[in-house]
Structure 1
Amino acid sequence: MVTVLALSAALAYGVADFLGGAAARRSTALKALAWCVPMGLAVVLASALLTGGGTGWGPMAWGFGAGLAGGTGLITFYRALARGPMSVVAPVSALAAAVLPVAVGTMQGERLDATVLLGVLLCLVAIALVSMEEGSADETAPAASGWRRLLDSGPLMAGVSGTCFGIFFILLKEAGDGGGLWPLVAARVGNVVVVFTALLYLKMFGGASEPTPPGARRTLIALTLLSGALDAGANALYFIAVQDGLLSLAAVLTSLYPAITVLLARITYSERLRTVQRLGMAIAVAGVALVTVG
Structure 2
Amino acid sequence: MVTLLALSAALAYGVADFLGGTVTRRSTAIRALTWCVPIGLAVVLGAALLTGGDPRPLPMTWGFVAGVGGGAGLITFYRALARGPMSVVAPVSALAAAVLPVAVGIARGERLDASVLLGVLLCLVAIGLVSMEADDGAGAAATRARGWRRVLDSGPVMAGVSGTCFGVFFVLLKAAGDGSGLWPIVGARLGNLVIVAVALLFLAVRGGDRGPRVSGRTLIGLALLSGSLDAGANVLYFLAVHDGLLSLAAVLTSLYPAITVLLARVAYSERLRAVQRVGLAVAVAGVALVTVG
Q: TM-score range by the shorter chain?
A: over 0.9
Deviations 1:189-215 (A, max 9, x none): 0000001110111122143455448xx
Given residue 158 of structure 1, which amino acid in structure 2 is its aligned partner?
A
Deviations 1:141-187 (A, max 9, x none): xx984343022110000000000000000000000232200000000
- The 5 A counterparts of 1:94-173 are 94-134=94-134, 145-173=146-174
Correspondence 1:205 to 2:206:
yes
Q: Partner of 1:190 in structure 2?
A: 191
Deviates most, 194-203 or 268-277: 194-203
Q: Partner of 1:225 in structure 2?
A: 224
- SS in structure 2 of the partner of residue 8 of structure 1: helix
- Assess, with a 3 A threshold, how the Cα gap between structure 1 residues 206 and 151 changes in structure 2: closer, same or farther: farther
- Assess, with a 3 A threshold, how the Cα gap between structure 1 residues 196 and 123 changes in structure 2: closer, same or farther: same
Query: Deviation at 1:220?
Result: 2.5
In the alignment, is the contact (CA less than 8 A) between 1:70 and 1:164 conserved in 2? yes
- SS in structure 2 of the partner of residue 155 of structure 1: helix
1: distance between equivalents of 2:197 and 2:55?
A: 26
Given residue 238 of structure 1, which amino acid in structure 2 is its aligned partner?
Y
Deviates most, 197-206 or 152-161: 197-206
- SS in structure 2 of the partner of residue 244 of structure 1: coil
- The 5 A counterparts of 1:14-53 are 14-53=14-53
- Assess, with a 3 A threshold, how the Cα gap between structure 1 residues 145 and 47 changes in structure 2: closer, same or farther: same
2: distance between equivalents of 1:243 and 1:273?
A: 35
Identity percentage of aligned residues: 77
1: distance between equivalents of 2:56 and 2:135?
A: 46
**TM-score (norm: length of structure 2):** 0.94
In the alignment, is the contact (CA less than 8 A) between 2:95 and 2:124 conserved in 1? yes
**TM-score (norm: length of structure 1):** 0.94
Query: Deviation at 1:56?
Result: 2.1
In the alignment, is the contact (CA less than 8 A) between 1:72 and 1:164 conserved in 2? yes
1: distance between equivalents of 2:22 and 2:161?
A: 20
In the alignment, is the contact (CA less than 8 A) between 1:85 and 1:135 conserved in 2? no
Deviations 1:59-84 (A, max 9, x none): 11110000000000000000000110
Given residue 77 of structure 1, which amino acid in structure 2 is its aligned partner?
F
Q: Partner of 1:177 in structure 2?
A: 178
Given residue 14 of structure 2, which amino acid in structure 1 is its aligned partner?
G
Correspondence 1:281 to 2:285:
no
2: distance between equivalents of 1:29 and 1:144?
A: 26
* RMSD of aligned Cα (Å): 1.8
Correspondence 1:292 to 2:291:
yes
- SS in structure 1 of the partner of residue 111 of structure 2: coil
Given residue 173 of structure 2, which amino acid in structure 1 is its aligned partner?
L
In the alignment, is the contact (CA less than 8 A) between 1:88 and 1:135 conserved in 2? no
- Assess, with a 3 A threshold, how the Cα gap between structure 1 residues 104 and 210 changes in structure 2: closer, same or farther: closer
Question: Alignment length, in residue pairs?
Answer: 288
Given residue 67 of structure 1, which amino acid in structure 2 is its aligned partner?
G
Query: Deviation at 1:256?
Result: 0.2
Q: Partner of 2:259 in structure 1?
A: 260
Q: Partner of 1:58 in structure 2?
A: 58
Given residue 52 of structure 1, which amino acid in structure 2 is its aligned partner?
G
2: distance between equivalents of 1:278 and 1:181?
A: 37
In the alignment, is the contact (CA less than 8 A) between 2:86 and 2:260 conserved in 1? yes
